[in-house]
Structures are given as C-alpha cells and as structure tokens.
C-alpha cells in the first residue's frame, strides 16, 4: 500500500467532511434531511473508531482531529435536523437522540480512552446509531421521491465503512472480541451488495458510476487492510486511514444521489 498516497487522501477526506456541515448551514429539502440524518449514523461509528484509535496510540493526531471534527459536525447537524423535523414521531426521535448523544459525548471526552470503558462506549455508540437510523428512515418515509431510498442506502455505506473500522479496532484492543468480529463481518456482508445496487440503479448517472468506480478502488485497499492477520500498530493504522478514504468517496456518492433525487 502506498502510505504517502493514502495519508494524502485521508487529509482530503478529513477536510471534506469537516466542511460538510458548514457548506449546508440548514436543511432545505427532504433529500438533504436524509443525507444529513444518514451522516449522523456514520458519525456515531466514526467517533468510536477515533476513540479506539486514541486509546491504542494509533494515528493519534489524525484520530484526535477526526473525533473533534465529528463531534462538532454531529452537534451542528442535530440542531439542523431537530429544527426541520415535523411534530410527532420524527421530532420525538430527535429528542431521544439528543439525550442519547449527551450520554455518548460524556463517554467520548469525559476521561482518556481506556480499554475498560470500551464495551460501554460501543454500547452507547450503538444506541446513538439506532436512533439516528430511525430518524433517517422517518425522513425517507416522508419523501414522495422514489429515489429517496437510494440516498438512504448510499448514506448507509458511509456508516458501514466506519462500523467495520470501529469493530476492527475494538477487536485489536480485545474489547468484546467475539461480538466485534461478528459485527465487522456482518457490516462487510451488507456493504458489498449495496455497492452493486447503487451502481446498477436506473437513476445512477455516469458521474455516479465513475465515483463508484473510485469507491471500488478504495474498498479494495480497505478490505485488504481489514483482512490483515497482523496485530501490529501499522495494520491498525492502515485500517484507520483506508476507512477514511473510502468514507470520502461514499460521501461524494451520497451527495450526488441527493443532488439528483433530493
């Protein structure tokens, strides 16, 4: 693997995602709501990945930046999504998410990452993910656009990229290893067919397919890193970096589908 290249790509990914919330200061359509709500799912897992990395001394500077940027973006998007949410189940879901996020935030920054807190952190990340996923689904249901599901699926790929990396790093730290290996494998099984679905959708433009071709290349690097049997810090760092690179491309795909269908 070309480490210089992957780390340059990682820097681009971090910058792109840091600016994602600032570029869209408010939710202006249901398509954007689905995109941002789906991004909250991803951030729940990306923050856990960064926390696991910090605890093991892996890509420390990058992991700290990812955690800080992800927390700020989650806060900003939560405010926007709450403001956009109609009364009823959607608004109630975001009130629940706000409460769960507060508890998660305390685990993320209340003390230095420690292996003994790893299981509690994974559990809380899962609760935030479940509520963010529910909110995304509710926004999809409210959209009359037939392609809204594709925005949701593309956005879910972002989350799966981070979920695989999160559980790889949890397993590397011996945090609930059996469950971590099982969840990592499950996320991988969901990710691969969804790529094909997005590629073969009638709504996929030439630009979408070109970007998905880039995703194929990044997925190859990431998947190879995940399959590494090494327990070295370098192997874990490769997972961290390649997951960021794949995330960048899948965020672009989700943005393209939002532009087309939102």
Confidence (pLDDT) at 73: 98
Q: Is the pLDDT of residue 18 over 70?
A: no
Q: Report the C-alpha dihedral over residues 127, 132, 138, 143, rounded to 10 degrees.
A: -160
Q: Tell me whether residue 239 is in a domain.
A: yes
Return mean pLDDT, the chain. Answer: 92
**CA dist., res. 169 & res. 45, Å (int):** 12
Q: Is the pLDDT of residue 12 over 80?
A: no
Q: Tell me whether residue 114 is in a domain.
A: yes
Q: Is the pLDDT of residue 238 over 70?
A: yes
CA atoms within 13 A on the CB side of 32: 14
pLDDT, one tens digit per residue, over 201-216 is 999 999 999 999 999 9
Angle at 245 between CA 97 and CA 197, to 5 degrees: 75
Q: Tell me whether residue 2 is in a domain.
A: no
Q: Tell me whether residue 4 is in a domain.
A: no
Q: Tell me whether residue 3 is in a domain.
A: no
Per the structure, the count of domains in the chain is: 1
More confident residue, 262 or 139: 139
Q: Tell me whether residue 5 is in a domain.
A: no
pLDDT, one tens digit per residue, over 127-169 is 999 999 999 999 999 998 888 999 999 999 999 999 999 999 9
Average pLDDT (180-190) is 97
Q: Tell me whether residue 6 is in a domain.
A: no
Query: Residues 155, 188, 166, 56: is their CA dihedral positive or negative?
Result: negative
How many residues are there in the chain?
A: 262
Q: Can you tell me which residue has the tokens 């009359």? A: 144
Structural domain span for residue 24? 11-261
């Amino acid at each position: 693997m070309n480490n210089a290249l992957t780390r340059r790509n990682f820097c681009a990914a971090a910058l792109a995602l840091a600016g994602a919330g600032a570029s869209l200061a408010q939710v202006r359509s249901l398509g954007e709501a689905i995109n941002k709500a789906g991004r909250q799912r991803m951030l729940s897992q990306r923050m856990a990945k960064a926390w696991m990395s910090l605890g093991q001394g892996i890509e420390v500077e990058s992991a700290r930046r990812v955690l800080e940027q992800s927390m700020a973006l989650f806060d900003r998007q939560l405010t926007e999504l709450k403001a956009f949410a109609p009364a009823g189940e959607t608004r109630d879901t975001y009130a629940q998410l706000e409460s769960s996020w507060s508890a998660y935030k305390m685990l993320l920054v209340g003390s230095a990452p420690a292996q003994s807190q790893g299981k509690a952190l994974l559990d809380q990340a899962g609760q935030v993910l479940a509520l963010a996923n529910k909110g995304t689904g509710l926004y999809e249901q409210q959209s009359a656009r037939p392609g809204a599901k594709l925005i949701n699926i593309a956005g879910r790929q972002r989350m799966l990229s981070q979920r695989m990396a999160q559980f790889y790093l949890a397993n590397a730290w011996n945090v609930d290893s059996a469950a971590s290996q099982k969840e990592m494998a499950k996320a991988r099984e969901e990710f691969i067919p969804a790529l094909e679905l997005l590629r073969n959708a009638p709504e996929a433009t030439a630009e979408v397919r070109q970007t998905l071709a880039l995703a194929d290349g990044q997925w190859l690097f990431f998947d190879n890193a995940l399959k590494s049997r090494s327990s070295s810090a370098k192997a874990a760092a490769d997972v961290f970096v390649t997951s960021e690179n794949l995330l960048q491309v899948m965020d672009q795909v989700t943005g393209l589908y939002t532009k087309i269908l939102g």
